[in-house]
Amino acid sequence: MIKAAVFDFDGTLMDTLVDTALCINHVLKNHGFDEVPIDEYKNIFGGSCYDMINLVTPKTMNDPVLLHEMDVEVQYHYSKHYNENCKPYKNIRHAIRALRKNNIDICVITNKPSRLLIPLLNEFFADIEFKHIIAADSGFPLKPNPASCNQLMQTLDIHHDEVVFIGDSEVDIQIAKNARAFSIGCGWGFRGGESLIKAGADYVIHEPMHVVEVVNILNKRSLKDIMEEAKLILKMLK
C-alpha cells in the first residue's frame, strides 16, 4: 500500500527551465563564456547548480574557485528572477489533490536549495500540504544518494514498498532504486520518456493525473499478483 508520494521539483512539479537557463547564461556572459541554448539545459538538470555550471563551462577551465563564485552569482541572480517564466505543469496540482484525498502524504526531495525552492512552493503550491520537504541544504547528500529518502521513510514510519518516487531525470529513478522504492518517470519533464525507460523506471507516464492511476494500480496489487510476477521473471531467466 502506497502511503507517500515523493516528488522531484524542477521538471516534475514545475517548468523552471527558462528562468534557470537565463540566469546561468547571464553569469556565463559576465565571465566571458559562451551562452548555451535554452533547450540544451534540459540535458543537464538533475544535479546541483554547481554541477550545471561545471557542465556548461569549458572542460579545460578546471577552476573550482571560479565555479564556486559563479554558483553563488547564479543563485543570487535566480533569487531575483525565479518566477518570471516558470509555471506548474498542467494538472499537477489536481494530481496532488487526488493523492491527498486518498490519504497519501505528499513530499518533495530536490537538489534545489531551500531558499530558491520555498518561495516557489509558497507562490504556486500554497494550498498543498507537503508532509516533508528535503532540499539541497537540508543536511543530506544530494540525489541519487538515498540518505534523504531513507530519512523521510524513517520520519513517516513507513517502509520502502510504501513509497513511490516521481521525477523527470535519471537521478530521480536512481534514488528510487537506491532506496528500494517504486519509481515513476515523468515524460512531461526535461528529459523525456525514452531516457527514463533506459534508466529503469518502474512506470513512465506523460500526464500528471496518471500518477494517481499508477498509485491505484500499485495499491490494488495483491501478494498473489506479486508472487505470479516473480514466477514469471524466474521463468524468463531460465
pLDDT in tens, 78-104: 999 999 999 999 999 999 999 999 999
DSSP 39: G
> Given a cut of 80, is residue 165 above it in pLDDT?
yes
| Helices marked H in the chain | 17-30, 49-56, 64-81, 92-101, 114-124, 147-156, 170-178, 193-199, 210-220, 223-237
Provide the pLDDT for residue 217.
87
Provide the pLDDT for residue 236.
57
Give the up-direction half-sphere exposure of residue 63: CA atoms within 13 A in the CB hemisphere.
Answer: 11
Beta carbons of 152 and 5 less than 8 angstroms apart = no
Provide the pLDDT for residue 48.
87
Work out the pLDDT band at 228, boundaries 50, 70, 90: low
Q: What is the pTM (predicted TM-score) of this model? A: 0.89
Convert the pLDDT of each residue in 20-39 to its tens digit.
999 999 999 999 999 999 99
Provide the pLDDT for residue 222.
52
Provide the pLDDT for residue 234.
64
**Residue 192, beta-bridge partner list:** none
Q: Which amino acid is at 5?
A: A
DSSP 41: G
* Cα(125)–Cα(145) distance, integer angstroms: 26
Provide the pLDDT for residue 235.
63
Provide the pLDDT for residue 116.
93
Helix %, strand %, coil % of the chain (to 5): 50, 15, 35
Q: In the numeric block, which cell numbers belong to residue 197?
A: 525507460
What is the pLDDT averaged over residues 162-171?
96
Classify residue 224 as exposed, middle or buried by CB count within 10 Å of its CB (0-12, 13-18, 19+): exposed
**Domains, the chain, ordered by start:** 4-14+87-237 (3.40.50.1000), 17-81 (1.10.150)
Provide the pLDDT for residue 207.
95
Average pLDDT of the chain to the nearest whole number: 92
Work out the pLDDT band at 230, boundaries 50, 70, 90: low
Residue 100: name the closest of 11, 201, 2, 227 by CA.
Answer: 2
Beta carbons of 147 and 158 less than 8 angstroms apart = no
Convert the pLDDT of each residue in 64-84 to its tens digit.
999 999 999 999 999 999 999
Q: How many CB atoms lie within 10 A of CB 77?
A: 17
* Cα(215)–Cα(27) distance, integer angstroms: 41
